[in-house]
A and B are shown apart, each in its own frame.
Chain A
Protein backbone atom coordinates (compact mmCIF):
# COMPACT_ATOMS: atom_id res chain seq x y z
CA UNK A 1 0.00 0.00 0.00
CA UNK A 2 1.65 3.20 -1.11
CA UNK A 3 1.06 6.62 0.34
CA UNK A 4 -1.36 8.71 -1.73
CA UNK A 5 0.52 11.44 -3.59
CA UNK A 6 -1.91 14.34 -3.18
CA UNK A 7 -5.01 13.63 -1.19
CA UNK A 8 -7.77 16.19 -0.76
CA UNK A 9 -10.42 15.19 1.71
CA UNK A 10 -13.74 16.96 2.08
CA UNK A 11 -12.39 20.43 1.44
CA UNK A 12 -14.75 23.38 1.65
CA UNK A 13 -13.81 27.00 1.20
CA UNK A 14 -16.23 29.77 2.06
CA UNK A 15 -15.75 33.49 1.66
CA UNK A 16 -18.30 34.81 4.10
CA UNK A 17 -21.58 33.36 2.95
CA UNK A 18 -20.31 32.50 -0.48
CA UNK A 19 -19.11 28.92 -0.80
CA UNK A 20 -16.41 28.83 -3.46
CA UNK A 21 -15.59 25.14 -3.01
CA UNK A 22 -17.91 22.55 -1.54
CA UNK A 23 -16.75 19.23 -0.08
CA UNK A 24 -14.10 18.44 -2.64
CA UNK A 25 -12.46 15.05 -2.27
CA UNK A 26 -9.99 13.85 -4.83
CA UNK A 27 -6.66 12.13 -5.24
CA UNK A 28 -3.90 13.02 -7.66
CA UNK A 29 -1.63 10.15 -8.60
CA UNK A 30 2.10 10.60 -8.98
CA UNK A 31 3.34 10.68 -12.57
CA UNK A 32 -0.09 11.16 -14.07
CA UNK A 33 -0.68 14.47 -15.81
CA UNK A 34 -3.91 15.69 -14.32
CA UNK A 35 -6.11 18.52 -15.45
CA UNK A 36 -8.60 20.54 -13.50
CA UNK A 37 -11.15 22.07 -15.79
CA UNK A 38 -14.19 24.16 -15.28
CA UNK A 39 -15.67 27.41 -16.50
CA UNK A 40 -14.48 30.74 -15.09
CA UNK A 41 -15.52 31.09 -11.48
CA UNK A 42 -15.67 27.32 -10.92
CA UNK A 43 -13.15 27.58 -8.08
CA UNK A 44 -9.96 26.35 -9.74
CA UNK A 45 -7.72 29.17 -8.59
CA UNK A 46 -9.23 29.01 -5.11
CA UNK A 47 -8.42 25.30 -5.07
CA UNK A 48 -4.79 26.07 -5.95
CA UNK A 49 -4.67 28.71 -3.26
CA UNK A 50 -5.64 26.02 -0.77
CA UNK A 51 -3.05 23.57 -2.08
CA UNK A 52 -0.25 26.14 -2.01
CA UNK A 53 -0.95 27.78 1.34
CA UNK A 54 -2.21 31.11 0.09
CA UNK A 55 -5.57 30.33 1.68
CA UNK A 56 -6.63 27.86 4.35
CA UNK A 57 -9.63 25.55 3.84
CA UNK A 58 -12.71 26.32 5.92
CA UNK A 59 -13.14 22.59 6.35
CA UNK A 60 -11.34 19.45 5.27
CA UNK A 61 -7.70 18.52 4.85
CA UNK A 62 -5.02 18.29 2.19
CA UNK A 63 -2.20 15.79 2.48
CA UNK A 64 0.86 15.48 0.28
CA UNK A 65 2.84 12.24 0.48
CA UNK A 66 1.22 11.64 3.82
CA UNK A 67 2.10 15.04 5.31
CA UNK A 68 -0.49 17.71 6.07
CA UNK A 69 -0.46 20.68 3.70
CA UNK A 70 -3.30 22.62 5.25
CA UNK A 71 -2.02 24.89 8.00
CA UNK A 72 1.46 25.23 6.48
CA UNK A 73 2.79 28.53 5.12
CA UNK A 74 3.59 28.77 1.37
CA UNK A 75 7.37 28.48 1.72
CA UNK A 76 7.08 25.25 3.71
CA UNK A 77 4.67 23.77 1.18
CA UNK A 78 7.13 24.62 -1.56
CA UNK A 79 9.85 22.81 0.39
CA UNK A 80 7.57 19.78 0.65
CA UNK A 81 7.68 19.60 -3.14
CA UNK A 82 4.64 21.51 -4.36
CA UNK A 83 5.31 24.52 -6.54
CA UNK A 84 2.72 26.64 -8.29
CA UNK A 85 2.45 29.15 -11.08
CA UNK A 86 0.03 32.04 -11.09
CA UNK A 87 -2.81 32.75 -13.46
CA UNK A 88 -1.72 36.38 -13.57
CA UNK A 89 1.95 36.44 -14.49
CA UNK A 90 3.96 36.82 -11.34
CA UNK A 91 7.62 37.38 -12.15
CA UNK A 92 10.29 39.84 -10.99
CA UNK A 93 10.17 42.39 -13.79
CA UNK A 94 13.12 44.50 -12.62
CA UNK A 95 15.45 41.51 -12.38
CA UNK A 96 17.05 39.80 -15.35
CA UNK A 97 15.56 36.58 -16.68
CA UNK A 98 18.43 34.59 -15.21
CA UNK A 99 18.12 36.33 -11.84
CA UNK A 100 14.43 35.39 -11.75
CA UNK A 101 15.41 31.75 -11.91
CA UNK A 102 18.32 32.23 -9.51
CA UNK A 103 15.92 33.46 -6.83
CA UNK A 104 14.13 30.12 -7.03
CA UNK A 105 17.41 28.18 -7.15
CA UNK A 106 18.80 30.03 -4.13
CA UNK A 107 15.61 29.11 -2.28
CA UNK A 108 15.80 25.51 -3.41
CA UNK A 109 19.49 25.04 -2.55
CA UNK A 110 19.20 26.98 0.73
CA UNK A 111 21.89 29.47 -0.30
CA UNK A 112 19.99 32.56 0.86
CA UNK A 113 22.20 33.22 3.87
CA UNK A 114 25.58 32.74 2.20
CA UNK A 115 26.36 36.40 2.76
CA UNK A 116 29.93 36.07 1.56
CA UNK A 117 29.12 34.62 -1.85
CA UNK A 118 28.79 36.79 -4.93
CA UNK A 119 25.74 35.80 -6.89
CA UNK A 120 27.01 36.95 -10.30
CA UNK A 121 30.28 35.11 -9.93
CA UNK A 122 28.76 31.80 -8.99
CA UNK A 123 29.38 29.77 -12.14
CA UNK A 124 27.72 26.62 -10.84
CA UNK A 125 24.56 28.45 -9.88
CA UNK A 126 24.45 30.30 -13.20
CA UNK A 127 24.94 27.02 -15.07
CA UNK A 128 22.00 25.45 -13.27
CA UNK A 129 19.88 28.50 -13.95
CA UNK A 130 20.80 28.42 -17.63
CA UNK A 131 19.91 24.76 -17.79
CA UNK A 132 16.37 25.55 -16.67
CA UNK A 133 16.09 28.50 -19.05
CA UNK A 134 17.37 26.52 -22.01
CA UNK A 135 14.94 23.71 -21.31
CA UNK A 136 12.17 26.28 -21.83
CA UNK A 137 13.85 28.00 -24.76
CA UNK A 138 14.61 31.17 -22.80
CA UNK A 139 18.39 30.77 -22.93
CA UNK A 140 19.05 33.62 -25.37
CA UNK A 141 17.05 36.02 -23.18
CA UNK A 142 18.94 35.25 -19.96
CA UNK A 143 20.38 38.72 -19.49
CA UNK A 144 17.32 40.70 -20.57
CA UNK A 145 15.26 42.47 -17.97
CA UNK A 146 12.26 40.25 -17.31
CA UNK A 147 9.84 43.15 -17.69
CA UNK A 148 10.84 43.56 -21.34
CA UNK A 149 9.85 40.04 -22.40
CA UNK A 150 6.87 39.33 -24.62
CA UNK A 151 3.74 38.07 -22.92
CA UNK A 152 4.34 34.48 -23.98
CA UNK A 153 7.94 34.54 -22.77
CA UNK A 154 6.83 35.95 -19.43
CA UNK A 155 4.50 32.98 -19.04
CA UNK A 156 7.42 30.67 -19.82
CA UNK A 157 9.59 32.47 -17.28
CA UNK A 158 6.84 31.96 -14.72
CA UNK A 159 7.11 28.26 -15.50
CA UNK A 160 10.91 28.40 -15.25
CA UNK A 161 10.69 29.85 -11.73
CA UNK A 162 8.34 27.04 -10.78
CA UNK A 163 10.51 24.28 -12.22
CA UNK A 164 13.76 25.65 -10.77
CA UNK A 165 12.73 24.56 -7.29
CA UNK A 166 12.50 20.98 -8.61
CA UNK A 167 9.03 20.26 -7.31
CA UNK A 168 7.45 16.85 -7.32
CA UNK A 169 4.01 18.31 -7.94
CA UNK A 170 3.69 21.28 -10.29
CA UNK A 171 0.49 23.30 -10.11
CA UNK A 172 -0.03 25.37 -13.24
CA UNK A 173 -2.89 27.84 -13.20
CA UNK A 174 -4.03 28.36 -16.78
CA UNK A 175 -0.49 28.31 -18.18
CA UNK A 176 -1.69 29.19 -21.66
CA UNK A 177 -4.08 31.97 -20.64
CA UNK A 178 -3.87 34.85 -23.07
CA UNK A 179 -1.46 33.08 -25.41
CA UNK A 180 -1.81 32.94 -29.17
CA UNK A 181 -2.81 29.51 -30.60
CA UNK A 182 0.78 28.94 -31.73
CA UNK A 183 2.18 29.77 -28.28
CA UNK A 184 -0.45 27.54 -26.69
CA UNK A 185 0.57 24.64 -28.88
CA UNK A 186 4.23 25.19 -28.06
CA UNK A 187 3.49 25.18 -24.34
CA UNK A 188 1.40 22.02 -24.58
CA UNK A 189 4.22 20.29 -26.47
CA UNK A 190 6.69 21.49 -23.87
CA UNK A 191 4.57 20.29 -20.96
CA UNK A 192 4.06 16.95 -22.65
CA UNK A 193 7.78 16.44 -23.05
CA UNK A 194 8.47 17.59 -19.48
CA UNK A 195 5.85 15.16 -18.21
CA UNK A 196 7.44 12.37 -20.25
CA UNK A 197 10.74 12.93 -18.42
CA UNK A 198 8.99 11.62 -15.35
CA UNK A 199 10.50 14.15 -12.92
CA UNK A 200 7.36 16.18 -12.36
CA UNK A 201 3.71 15.48 -11.88
CA UNK A 202 1.59 18.22 -13.41
CA UNK A 203 -1.75 19.44 -12.22
CA UNK A 204 -3.03 21.96 -14.75
CA UNK A 205 -6.12 24.14 -14.63
CA UNK A 206 -7.80 25.26 -17.76
CA UNK A 207 -11.16 26.75 -18.62
CA UNK A 208 -11.01 25.62 -22.24
CA UNK A 209 -11.51 21.84 -22.19
CA UNK A 210 -10.07 21.31 -25.62
CA UNK A 211 -6.64 22.54 -24.54
CA UNK A 212 -6.16 19.72 -22.06
CA UNK A 213 -7.56 16.82 -24.04
CA UNK A 214 -4.26 16.21 -25.76
CA UNK A 215 -2.27 16.60 -22.58
CA UNK A 216 -3.98 15.11 -19.55
CA UNK A 217 -4.15 11.49 -18.50
CA UNK A 218 -6.83 12.26 -15.98
CA UNK A 219 -9.35 15.07 -15.69
CA UNK A 220 -11.35 16.59 -12.86
CA UNK A 221 -14.26 18.85 -13.72
CA UNK A 222 -15.25 21.62 -11.31
CA UNK A 223 -18.54 23.38 -11.63
CA UNK A 224 -19.88 26.02 -9.24
CA UNK A 225 -17.38 24.91 -6.63
CA UNK A 226 -18.26 21.25 -6.79
CA UNK A 227 -16.50 18.27 -8.27
CA UNK A 228 -18.83 17.44 -11.14
CA UNK A 229 -16.97 14.57 -12.71
CA UNK A 230 -13.64 12.82 -13.07
CA UNK A 231 -12.16 10.39 -15.51
CA UNK A 232 -10.10 9.96 -18.64
CA UNK A 233 -10.45 12.32 -21.57
CA UNK A 234 -12.88 9.96 -23.28
CA UNK A 235 -15.01 9.59 -20.20
CA UNK A 236 -15.16 13.34 -19.64
CA UNK A 237 -15.95 14.02 -23.27
CA UNK A 238 -18.88 11.61 -23.11
CA UNK A 239 -20.10 12.72 -19.71
CA UNK A 240 -23.65 14.08 -20.01
CA UNK A 241 -23.49 16.49 -17.07
CA UNK A 242 -20.19 17.90 -18.28
CA UNK A 243 -21.69 18.42 -21.70
CA UNK A 244 -24.63 20.14 -20.09
CA UNK A 245 -22.39 22.38 -17.97
CA UNK A 246 -20.43 23.38 -21.05
CA UNK A 247 -23.56 23.86 -23.13
CA UNK A 248 -22.93 26.49 -25.70
CA UNK A 249 -19.23 25.72 -25.73
CA UNK A 250 -17.94 23.17 -28.15
CA UNK A 251 -16.81 19.88 -26.71
CA UNK A 252 -15.33 17.64 -29.34
Chain B
Protein backbone atom coordinates (compact mmCIF):
# COMPACT_ATOMS: atom_id res chain seq x y z
CA UNK B 1 0.00 0.00 0.00
CA UNK B 2 2.73 2.45 0.99
CA UNK B 3 4.71 1.42 -2.07
CA UNK B 4 1.66 2.16 -4.23
CA UNK B 5 1.21 5.60 -2.68
CA UNK B 6 4.87 6.38 -3.23
CA UNK B 7 4.75 5.23 -6.83
CA UNK B 8 1.57 7.24 -7.42
CA UNK B 9 3.10 10.41 -5.99
CA UNK B 10 6.20 9.90 -8.11
CA UNK B 11 4.14 9.45 -11.29
CA UNK B 12 2.09 12.53 -10.47
CA UNK B 13 5.27 14.50 -9.91
CA UNK B 14 6.65 13.30 -13.24
CA UNK B 15 3.47 14.38 -15.06
CA UNK B 16 3.53 17.79 -13.38
CA UNK B 17 7.18 18.30 -14.25
CA UNK B 18 6.68 17.29 -17.87
CA UNK B 19 3.61 19.50 -18.32
CA UNK B 20 4.99 22.45 -16.35
CA UNK B 21 6.35 24.48 -19.29
CA UNK B 22 2.98 24.14 -21.08
CA UNK B 23 0.98 25.70 -18.29
CA UNK B 24 3.25 28.03 -16.38
CA UNK B 25 5.11 31.23 -17.19
CA UNK B 26 8.75 31.41 -18.12
CA UNK B 27 9.68 32.51 -14.63
CA UNK B 28 8.36 29.35 -13.00
CA UNK B 29 10.18 27.17 -15.51
CA UNK B 30 13.34 29.06 -14.64
CA UNK B 31 12.93 28.38 -10.92
CA UNK B 32 12.02 24.76 -11.60
CA UNK B 33 15.22 24.27 -13.58
CA UNK B 34 17.23 25.64 -10.68
CA UNK B 35 15.39 23.37 -8.24
CA UNK B 36 16.15 20.32 -10.36
CA UNK B 37 19.84 21.12 -10.64
CA UNK B 38 20.37 21.97 -6.99
CA UNK B 39 18.12 19.06 -6.02
CA UNK B 40 20.56 16.78 -7.85
CA UNK B 41 23.44 18.49 -6.05
CA UNK B 42 21.77 17.98 -2.67
CA UNK B 43 20.92 14.35 -3.46
CA UNK B 44 24.56 13.62 -4.35
CA UNK B 45 25.68 15.33 -1.16
CA UNK B 46 23.24 13.19 0.81
CA UNK B 47 24.81 10.00 -0.51
CA UNK B 48 27.64 10.84 1.88
CA UNK B 49 25.60 12.52 4.61
CA UNK B 50 22.38 10.56 4.92
CA UNK B 51 23.65 7.18 3.78
CA UNK B 52 27.27 7.14 4.89
CA UNK B 53 26.99 9.50 7.86
CA UNK B 54 29.73 11.88 6.76
CA UNK B 55 28.89 15.59 6.67
CA UNK B 56 30.92 17.20 3.91
CA UNK B 57 31.30 20.92 4.21
CA UNK B 58 33.18 21.18 0.96
CA UNK B 59 30.95 19.80 -1.77
CA UNK B 60 31.06 23.22 -3.42
CA UNK B 61 34.52 22.15 -4.58
CA UNK B 62 33.00 19.50 -6.85
CA UNK B 63 30.04 21.61 -7.90
CA UNK B 64 32.50 24.40 -8.77
CA UNK B 65 34.86 22.04 -10.60
CA UNK B 66 31.99 20.80 -12.74
CA UNK B 67 30.94 24.38 -13.45
CA UNK B 68 34.42 25.60 -14.40
CA UNK B 69 35.32 22.60 -16.53
CA UNK B 70 32.03 22.97 -18.40
CA UNK B 71 32.66 26.70 -18.85
CA UNK B 72 36.22 26.14 -20.06
CA UNK B 73 35.24 23.40 -22.50
CA UNK B 74 32.49 25.55 -23.96
CA UNK B 75 34.69 28.63 -24.13
CA UNK B 76 37.83 27.12 -25.62
CA UNK B 77 36.81 23.93 -27.37
CA UNK B 78 33.11 24.36 -28.10
CA UNK B 79 32.49 20.67 -27.65
CA UNK B 80 29.02 19.32 -28.19
CA UNK B 81 27.21 19.71 -24.87
CA UNK B 82 26.76 15.99 -24.34
CA UNK B 83 30.56 15.60 -24.13
CA UNK B 84 30.83 18.56 -21.83
CA UNK B 85 28.33 16.83 -19.55
CA UNK B 86 30.38 13.66 -19.69
CA UNK B 87 33.78 15.21 -18.99
CA UNK B 88 32.95 17.89 -16.39
CA UNK B 89 31.65 15.35 -13.81
CA UNK B 90 34.70 13.17 -14.44
CA UNK B 91 36.94 16.12 -13.60
CA UNK B 92 34.95 16.61 -10.39
CA UNK B 93 35.32 12.89 -9.65
CA UNK B 94 39.09 13.15 -10.05
CA UNK B 95 39.02 16.05 -7.59
CA UNK B 96 36.87 14.00 -5.22
CA UNK B 97 39.36 11.13 -5.45
CA UNK B 98 42.26 13.35 -4.38
CA UNK B 99 40.37 15.19 -1.65
CA UNK B 100 38.45 12.13 -0.50
CA UNK B 101 41.57 10.01 -0.22
CA UNK B 102 42.71 12.28 2.60
CA UNK B 103 39.31 13.05 4.15
CA UNK B 104 37.68 9.62 4.50
CA UNK B 105 40.21 8.59 7.13
CA UNK B 106 38.65 11.10 9.47
CA UNK B 107 35.34 10.98 11.28
CA UNK B 108 32.62 13.34 12.29
CA UNK B 109 33.64 16.95 12.77
CA UNK B 110 37.23 16.28 11.66
CA UNK B 111 35.95 15.02 8.34
CA UNK B 112 33.72 18.09 8.01
CA UNK B 113 36.57 20.46 8.83
CA UNK B 114 38.96 18.89 6.36
CA UNK B 115 36.40 18.94 3.55
CA UNK B 116 35.74 22.59 4.41
CA UNK B 117 39.46 23.33 4.16
CA UNK B 118 39.74 21.67 0.77
CA UNK B 119 36.62 23.46 -0.41
CA UNK B 120 38.24 26.78 0.52
CA UNK B 121 41.37 25.76 -1.36
CA UNK B 122 39.39 25.11 -4.51
CA UNK B 123 37.64 28.45 -4.02
CA UNK B 124 41.04 30.15 -3.65
CA UNK B 125 42.28 28.54 -6.85
CA UNK B 126 39.19 29.66 -8.74
CA UNK B 127 39.65 33.12 -7.34
CA UNK B 128 43.38 33.53 -7.91
CA UNK B 129 44.24 31.64 -11.08
CA UNK B 130 43.10 34.51 -13.26
CA UNK B 131 44.59 33.37 -16.56
CA UNK B 132 42.44 30.24 -16.53
CA UNK B 133 39.45 30.96 -14.33
CA UNK B 134 39.00 34.63 -14.94
CA UNK B 135 39.51 35.49 -11.27
CA UNK B 136 36.65 36.99 -9.35
CA UNK B 137 34.74 37.74 -12.58
CA UNK B 138 34.75 34.07 -13.41
CA UNK B 139 34.01 32.75 -16.86
CA UNK B 140 31.23 34.49 -18.67
CA UNK B 141 30.01 34.78 -22.18
CA UNK B 142 30.98 31.29 -23.24
CA UNK B 143 29.02 30.10 -26.22
CA UNK B 144 26.34 27.43 -25.94
CA UNK B 145 26.97 24.60 -28.33
CA UNK B 146 24.82 21.97 -29.95
CA UNK B 147 23.79 19.14 -27.66
CA UNK B 148 25.15 16.56 -30.08
CA UNK B 149 24.19 13.00 -31.06
CA UNK B 150 21.61 14.49 -33.41
CA UNK B 151 19.39 15.93 -30.69
CA UNK B 152 17.48 18.96 -31.87
CA UNK B 153 17.80 20.92 -28.64
CA UNK B 154 18.66 24.61 -28.37
CA UNK B 155 20.45 25.19 -25.07
CA UNK B 156 19.70 28.91 -25.10
CA UNK B 157 15.97 28.16 -25.15
CA UNK B 158 14.88 27.97 -21.48
CA UNK B 159 12.14 25.44 -22.26
CA UNK B 160 14.51 23.19 -24.12
CA UNK B 161 17.06 23.53 -21.37
CA UNK B 162 14.40 22.70 -18.79
CA UNK B 163 13.52 19.45 -20.52
CA UNK B 164 17.14 18.50 -20.98
CA UNK B 165 17.77 19.18 -17.29
CA UNK B 166 14.69 17.21 -16.32
CA UNK B 167 15.91 14.23 -18.33
CA UNK B 168 19.46 14.32 -16.99
CA UNK B 169 18.40 14.87 -13.38
CA UNK B 170 15.82 12.08 -13.61
CA UNK B 171 18.41 9.65 -15.01
CA UNK B 172 20.96 10.69 -12.37
CA UNK B 173 18.51 10.32 -9.52
CA UNK B 174 17.57 6.88 -10.84
CA UNK B 175 21.25 5.93 -10.91
CA UNK B 176 21.83 7.22 -7.38
CA UNK B 177 18.70 5.45 -6.18
CA UNK B 178 19.94 2.17 -7.62
CA UNK B 179 23.21 2.73 -5.79
CA UNK B 180 21.39 3.14 -2.49
CA UNK B 181 19.51 -0.13 -2.83
CA UNK B 182 22.52 -2.09 -4.08
CA UNK B 183 24.81 -4.11 -1.79
CA UNK B 184 27.06 -1.04 -1.83
CA UNK B 185 24.20 1.08 -0.51
CA UNK B 186 23.62 -1.35 2.35
CA UNK B 187 27.31 -1.18 3.26
CA UNK B 188 27.11 2.63 3.26
CA UNK B 189 24.10 2.55 5.57
CA UNK B 190 25.87 0.11 7.85
CA UNK B 191 28.93 2.36 7.96
CA UNK B 192 26.75 5.31 8.92
CA UNK B 193 25.94 3.47 12.12
CA UNK B 194 29.16 1.75 12.85
CA UNK B 195 32.11 1.96 10.50
CA UNK B 196 34.34 -0.11 12.74
CA UNK B 197 31.92 -3.04 12.85
CA UNK B 198 31.82 -3.05 9.06
CA UNK B 199 35.62 -3.21 8.95
CA UNK B 200 35.60 -6.15 11.35
CA UNK B 201 33.19 -7.93 9.01
CA UNK B 202 35.81 -7.80 6.27
CA UNK B 203 35.04 -4.59 4.38
CA UNK B 204 37.86 -2.10 3.74
CA UNK B 205 35.76 0.69 5.22
CA UNK B 206 37.83 3.69 4.19
CA UNK B 207 38.01 2.50 0.62
CA UNK B 208 34.22 2.13 0.51
CA UNK B 209 33.83 5.60 1.95
CA UNK B 210 36.13 6.87 -0.78
CA UNK B 211 34.05 5.18 -3.48
CA UNK B 212 30.97 6.85 -2.04
CA UNK B 213 32.77 10.17 -1.92
CA UNK B 214 33.87 9.87 -5.55
CA UNK B 215 30.36 9.00 -6.74
CA UNK B 216 28.98 11.87 -4.70
CA UNK B 217 31.56 14.22 -6.24
CA UNK B 218 30.78 12.93 -9.73
CA UNK B 219 27.09 13.82 -9.54
CA UNK B 220 27.86 17.11 -7.79
CA UNK B 221 30.09 17.96 -10.75
CA UNK B 222 27.29 17.09 -13.14
CA UNK B 223 25.00 19.45 -11.24
CA UNK B 224 27.70 22.14 -11.39
CA UNK B 225 28.10 21.73 -15.15
CA UNK B 226 24.35 22.06 -15.64
CA UNK B 227 24.25 25.08 -13.35
CA UNK B 228 27.06 26.91 -15.19
CA UNK B 229 25.30 26.33 -18.48
CA UNK B 230 21.99 27.40 -16.98
CA UNK B 231 23.34 30.61 -15.48
CA UNK B 232 25.80 31.22 -18.35
CA UNK B 233 28.66 31.86 -15.93
CA UNK B 234 31.14 29.97 -13.78
CA UNK B 235 32.16 32.07 -10.80
CA UNK B 236 34.29 31.37 -7.70
CA UNK B 237 31.19 31.57 -5.47
CA UNK B 238 30.09 28.23 -6.95
CA UNK B 239 32.85 26.57 -4.92
CA UNK B 240 32.52 28.81 -1.89
CA UNK B 241 31.54 27.37 1.47
CA UNK B 242 28.19 29.14 1.18
CA UNK B 243 27.58 26.99 -1.89
CA UNK B 244 28.59 23.92 0.14
CA UNK B 245 26.11 24.94 2.82
CA UNK B 246 23.13 24.93 0.46
CA UNK B 247 22.84 21.17 -0.03
CA UNK B 248 23.25 20.75 3.74
CA UNK B 249 20.32 23.07 4.43
CA UNK B 250 18.21 21.54 1.67
CA UNK B 251 18.88 18.03 2.91
CA UNK B 252 18.08 18.83 6.52
CA UNK B 253 14.94 20.63 5.42
CA UNK B 254 13.71 17.75 3.31
CA UNK B 255 14.91 14.90 5.51
CA UNK B 256 18.26 13.18 5.14
CA UNK B 257 16.79 9.74 5.77
CA UNK B 258 14.56 9.88 2.70
CA UNK B 259 15.81 9.51 -0.81
CA UNK B 260 13.72 12.42 -2.12
CA UNK B 261 14.31 14.53 0.99
CA UNK B 262 17.11 16.64 -0.52
CA UNK B 263 15.10 17.30 -3.71
CA UNK B 264 12.05 18.34 -1.68
CA UNK B 265 14.32 20.49 0.47
CA UNK B 266 15.73 22.14 -2.63
CA UNK B 267 12.19 22.95 -3.81
CA UNK B 268 11.22 24.48 -0.47
CA UNK B 269 14.49 26.37 -0.08
CA UNK B 270 14.49 27.88 -3.56
CA UNK B 271 10.72 28.41 -3.52
CA UNK B 272 10.97 30.39 -0.29
CA UNK B 273 14.04 32.26 -1.47
CA UNK B 274 12.33 33.27 -4.70
CA UNK B 275 9.19 34.31 -2.87
CA UNK B 276 10.98 36.37 -0.25
CA UNK B 277 13.37 38.08 -2.66
CA UNK B 278 10.36 39.36 -4.57
CA UNK B 279 9.36 41.34 -1.46
CA UNK B 280 12.63 42.35 0.14
CA UNK B 281 16.33 42.37 -0.51
CA UNK B 282 16.90 41.29 3.10
CA UNK B 283 15.85 37.79 2.10
CA UNK B 284 18.67 36.10 4.00
CA UNK B 285 17.31 37.14 7.42
CA UNK B 286 13.77 36.01 6.70
CA UNK B 287 14.85 32.81 5.05
CA UNK B 288 17.17 32.13 7.96
CA UNK B 289 14.38 32.52 10.49
CA UNK B 290 12.01 30.31 8.53
CA UNK B 291 14.66 27.63 8.04
CA UNK B 292 15.55 27.75 11.72
CA UNK B 293 11.93 27.21 12.64
CA UNK B 294 11.55 24.33 10.22
CA UNK B 295 14.70 22.63 11.42
CA UNK B 296 13.66 23.04 15.06
CA UNK B 297 10.11 21.83 14.62
CA UNK B 298 10.62 19.27 11.86
CA UNK B 299 13.67 17.33 13.03
CA UNK B 300 13.17 14.68 10.37
CA UNK B 301 12.44 17.20 7.66
CA UNK B 302 9.41 17.60 5.49
CA UNK B 303 9.34 13.92 4.68
CA UNK B 304 9.36 13.04 8.35
CA UNK B 305 6.29 15.22 8.80
CA UNK B 306 4.54 13.64 5.81
CA UNK B 307 5.28 10.23 7.18
CA UNK B 308 3.76 11.14 10.53
CA UNK B 309 0.62 12.38 8.78
CA UNK B 310 0.37 9.26 6.68
CA UNK B 311 0.46 7.01 9.70
CA UNK B 312 4.10 6.66 10.59
CA UNK B 313 6.79 4.12 10.12
CA UNK B 314 6.13 0.44 10.61
Contact = CB atoms under 8 A, between A and B. Distances in A.
Interface of A: 52, 54, 73-75, 78-79, 83-84, 86, 90-95, 99-100, 102-104, 106-108, 111-120, 122, 161, 164-165
A92 B184 contact: no
B202 A104 contact: yes
Given A92-B189, A112-B187, A165-B201, 14 more contacts: A54-B196, A54-B200, A74-B199, A75-B205, A78-B200, A83-B200, A92-B194, A92-B197, A93-B193, A94-B189, A100-B190, A106-B186, A120-B181, A161-B197
Contacts of A113: 183-184, 211
Given A75-B202, A75-B203, A112-B208, A90 B194 contact: yes
A119 B185 contact: yes
B310 to A, nearest CB: 19
Nearest to A94: B193
Contacts of B28: none
B190 A92 contact: yes
Contacts of B198: 103, 107
Interface of B: 178-179, 181-187, 189-190, 192-194, 196-205, 208, 211
B182 A104 contact: no
Nearest to B257: A94
Contacts of B199: 73-75, 78
Nearest to B313: A145
A149 to B, nearest CB: 15
A54 B208 CA distance: 19
Closest 5 CB pairs of A and B: A78-B202, A107-B202, A104-B201, A103-B190, A106-B183
Contacts of A90: 194, 196-197
A114 B182 contact: yes
B304 to A, nearest CB: 15
A112 B194 contact: no
Contact of A75 (B183, B194, B204, B211): B204
| Most central of A75, A100, A122 by chain B CB within 10 Å | A75
B269 to A, nearest CB: 26
B181 A119 contact: yes
Given A92-B190, A92-B193, A92-B194, A103 B201 contact: yes
Contacts of A84: 200
Nearest to B203: A107
| Most central of B181, B184, B200, B204 by chain A CB within 10 Å | B200
Contacts of A103: 186-187, 190, 198, 201, 203
Nearest to A145: B313
Contacts of A111: 183
Contacts of A79: 202
B183 A114 contact: yes
Contacts of A52: 200
Given A75-B205, A92-B190, A115 B197 contact: no
B200 to A, nearest CB: 5
Contact of B178 (A78, A95, A100, A116): A116
Contacts of A93: 193
Given A73-B199, A90-B194, A99 B186 contact: yes
A117 to B, nearest CB: 6
B186 A119 contact: yes
